[in-house]
Amino acid sequence: MNRMPHVAVVGATGAVGVEMIKTLERRNFPVGKLTLLASARSVGKTLTFRGTSEPVTELTKESFAGIDLALFSAGGAISREFAPVAAQAGCVVVDNSSAFRMDDAVPLVVPEINAADIRGHRGIIANPNCTTAITLMALYPLHAAFGCRRIFASSYQAVSGTGAKAIAELERQVNQIVKGQPVTREVYPHPIAFNVLPHVDSFLPSGYTKEEMKMENEGRKIMHHPTFRASVTCVRVPVYRAHSVAVSAEFERPVTVEAAREVLAKAPGLDVVDNPSKCEYPLPLHQAEKDNCAVGRIRKDCALDNGLCFWVSGDQLLKGAALNAVQIAEELLKL
């Protein structure tokens, strides 16, 4: 790839798109030229990159001529329609949607775990689900050391995972409740303010949601672990950004808290915040806008053989989306 690539951000005005632009700038990614693409209704808007106002242009099939790298975050339907077009035009696509994650021809990558898979790309590389990525930042180092058989997990997912409209909905509903006004809903089926919804993504015939099954399916692919099993309940909570996950993991080999902490302390992109006696443990409020995920509440699982419990928290818009995509782009430059 060009060492000063022409980069496009598709879905530039969305919550993740905006974060992608900020992350490219913050990490000094060597952008030769930046093109911002979005739907027709966003045309005319401008976004700032390196002190310059960059115009948003309409995404069309002709948008990718001369572009080296495209970071997509505009939803699965847009990715399915435009990512193959971009790849055919000679552009490498890093796609944040679920459209290509389980496609055998598309690498699904968390750079700290399986950066080498990028080498096999055919023009499209998939970014994992945000909750999966954040969980695996803590789970994979433990799996590499002790061999993870299965996990039971519950997620505590911020509204930013749904997008900018959901962030606005939580803010609006909090104000409505505080002022004693009727609560209005547009994004979620129930009020999210002062509430939790055990419902993320659509339900499958099994009773699990699509989001819940992503942990098992994507986890298997990213960790190269085809027998990995995950029983997950995904819950939307009234937090603006940063997801948290409570995990009970069962391992093939005996694991102690001390050995686990030693492994986690060496893991890239992960901070150990684990001093319960001083009320120190990962908090979404603290992880918001931080690149690293954090793990804590590390303890032996009293219901599983060779089991370990932990709590992991990370910024959904960063490691769960924009940061991971830019890290993939950084790995592409090394090829």
> Could you give the residue numbers annotated as active site?
130, 243
Helices (H), the chain: 15-26, 76-88, 111-114, 130-146, 164-178, 210-223, 257-266, 284-287, 323-334
Asked if 183 and 191 touch (Cβ cutoff 8 Å), the reply is yes
Cα–Cα nearest to 139, from 6, 275, 260, 316? 260
C-beta of residue 135 within 8 angstroms of C-beta of residue 245 = yes
Nearest to 126 by CA among 149, 110, 147, 150: 110
Residue from 82, 98, 101, 109 nearest 332 by CA: 109
Residue 75 sits at φ, ψ, to 5 deg, of 95, 160
Find, among 32, 66, 13, the residue nearest to 329 by Cα.
Answer: 32
How many Å apart are CA 52 and CA 90, to the nearest integer?
Answer: 27
Q: CA–CA separation, 303 vs 301, rounded Å? A: 6
Tokens of 161: 């995972």
Closest alpha carbon to 216 in 206, 199, 230: 230
- Residue 229 has which token pair? 């099993």
Crossing angle for the helix pair 323-334 and 15-26, nearest 10 degrees? 50
